[in-house]
A = this chain, B = another copy of it.
């Protein structure tokens, strides 16, 4: 991979199960990431168990690059972060997924490549492998129950990376049908009051002002769409029918 990086690379170091490689591929593609590297997989490569677990993310597996050792796998990388569950033997700065995301994006903007390392399922990364990294990842977890599996660590890192992207589609602002105009809302309030008044809802001129304000507030608080205003008006109309159609 000699061209300029466009995203972080996910490096699986001595993964044991093909199924886990597939799950990691799926989790990566969920967040539009597809640069996977595999270092010395226990059962060789390709692995027939990977495809089914990828659930459609075959592209990630097909493009995965195979390496004999970690050193060559990270040779073209500029910043390497190790995910590890083991007690740290040597000191490395511990950073959160949010921080590593900021670092990866910042490096990328300078044409630098970041690698996320994931150790073997049982044993994690060796001390030599750890030594190749710039920092360790610290996912904030329950200190008494902190074991997270490979695919879940990939999901968290992918999620942070993807959502930090300025191209993430924005929140749907408000009701897609649009908000009702104040005129429509006022029409509903007038309608309601017109039906409530002859039925004795407003107990005294004294209290009417307070009750009137409460009603406006009540209807405004519902933040209705134009259609919802119409539906409420239909409901009021139905409720005030004199003739009951049953009994």
Out of B143, B145, B221, B223, which one reaches A56, CB within 8 Å? B145
In this complex, what residue of B is CB-closest to A164?
B140
Whether B221 contacts A152 by the Cβ 8 Å rule is no
CB of A47 within 8 Å of the partner chain? no
In this complex, what residue of B is CB-closest to A222?
B222
In this complex, what residue of B is CB-closest to A211?
B231
CB distance from A228 to the nearest CB of B (A): 6
In this complex, what residue of B is CB-closest to A174?
B93
Q: Which residues of B contact A163 (CB under 8 A)?
A: 96, 98, 140
Q: Kindly state the separation between the CA atoms of A240 and B200 in the bound complex, as whole angstroms.
A: 12
Whether B218 contacts A221 by the Cβ 8 Å rule is no
Whether B162 contacts A142 by the Cβ 8 Å rule is yes
CB distance from A36 to the nearest CB of B (A): 14
In this complex, what residue of B is CB-closest to A236?
B239
Within 189-227 of A, Cβ neighbours of B (below 8 Å) are at 192, 195-201, 214, 218, 221-225
Q: Kindly state the separation between the CA atoms of A228 and B216 in the bound complex, as whole angstroms.
A: 12
Q: Kindly state the separation between the CA atoms of A163 and B138 in the bound complex, as whole angstroms.
A: 11
Q: How many copies does the complex hold?
A: 2
CB of A30 within 8 Å of the partner chain? yes
Q: Which residues of B contact A156 (CB under 8 A)?
A: 155-156, 159
In the complex with contacts A146-B30, A218-B231, A240-B239, A198-B140 CB distance below 8 A: no
CB of A45 within 8 Å of the partner chain? no
CB distance from A42 to the nearest CB of B (A): 21
CB of A235 within 8 Å of the partner chain? yes
Q: Which residues of B contact A55 (CB under 8 A)?
A: 147
Please name the 5 residue pairs, one residue from A and one from B, whose CB atoms are nearest each other, closest first.
A222-B222, A198-B246, A32-B142, A239-B239, A140-B163
| Additional A-B contacts beyond A93-B172, A218-B228 (13; CB < 8 A) | A30-B142, A30-B146, A31-B142, A55-B147, A56-B145, A139-B159, A141-B162, A155-B155, A199-B244, A200-B241, A200-B245, A222-B222, A240-B240
